[in-house]
Amino acid sequence: MSDLVNYEQDGAVVVITINRPDAMNAFTTELSLALQLALEKAHNDDSVRAVVLTGEGRCFSAGADLKSGFEGRPVSGKLQYEYRPVLSAIALMPKPVISAIPGSAAGIGMSTALYCDLVIMADNAFLLSPFATISLVPDGGLNWILVRQLGYHRAYQLSVESERIPAERCVELGLANKAVPADELQSAALAWAQSLAKRAPMSLAATKKVMRHAMDNDWASSFNLEAEWQQALAGSEDNREGVKAFFEKREAKFKGR
């Protein structure tokens, strides 16, 4: 990792912060790699049960660093070998990843924020797909995300008109889960992550896997995967602890096994 990405652990929660505030946290080759490594570190650390991904300063990320150009790499290569590993690291992590959006998230910053499992925004923040203004196509899987969430017509309109989507509207459209006062964003995101960290980690991981599968597959295969995971989790130590705590009317203490 590098100074481009900060990694801080608070108990069972890790906060990963994109740290190029002078450049509006714009993505470069080095930043993409640092972010991928930070996410993989959280993935591999059993003491981590939830992750917050955010940006330093006044925005989450303005997208690709246009000043640096494409640094000699074909654009498709940049997408496949720089952005895609970051997004895959989010999707494959068995722990919930919350994106906390201050100010704005645009371009690949918007794609990255929306690819997280949960999204919380400052009430003065907005999302922006600016590609039509610079003669490019939405990338980082943004077409896939928007069409599935919004439907084709609304997704196309928001993209080609490069409309700023304010936080309140993002919540209405289902692009974000919550909008909170800007000065409370980081504390609210951390509190949310800490709350999730108390949940059964195997349950969170299995639910994430099944639901991400369900977005791309049919009902039957999703049902089958549910059954497989239910069989795997039933009777586990955490399952027994959860049931016992329910009847004893106390908070369960899960161990991830």
pLDDT per position as a tens digit, 55-103: 999 999 999 987 766 555 688 888 899 999 999 999 999 999 999 999 9
At 213 the pLDDT is 96
Show the DSSP H helices in the chain as ranges.
29-44, 75-78, 84-92, 108-115, 142-150, 152-160, 167-173, 185-196, 201-216, 219-233, 237-248
Give the 3-state secondary structure of residue 106: strand
Percent of the chain at pLDDT > 90 equals 91
Sequence letter at residue 160: V
The band of 159, judged by pLDDT with boundaries at 50, 70 and 90, is very high
Q: What is the pTM of this model?
A: 0.94
Q: Span 22-51, mean pLDDT? A: 96
Q: Span 210-228, mean pLDDT? A: 96
At 230 the pLDDT is 96
What's the sign of the alpha-carbon dihedral 71, 76, 82, 83? positive
At 189 the pLDDT is 98
At 257 the pLDDT is 85
At 78 the pLDDT is 87
Element at 10 (helix H, strand E): strand 5-10
At 22 the pLDDT is 95
- In this predicted model, what pLDDT tens digit does every residue of 169-218 receive, in sequence order? 999 999 999 999 999 999 999 999 999 999 999 999 999 999 999 999 99
* Superfamily of 5-196 according to CATH: 2-enoyl-CoA Hydratase; Chain A, domain 1 (3.90.226.10)
Measured CA to CA, the distance from residue 133 to residue 138 in angstroms comes to 11
Which two structure tokens, joined as six digits, stand for 210?
Answer: 């099944």
**Cβ 34 vs Cβ 5: under 8 Å:** yes
Mean pLDDT taken over the chain: 94
Show the DSSP H helices in 107-200 as ranges.
108-115, 142-150, 152-160, 167-173, 185-196
At 130 the pLDDT is 93
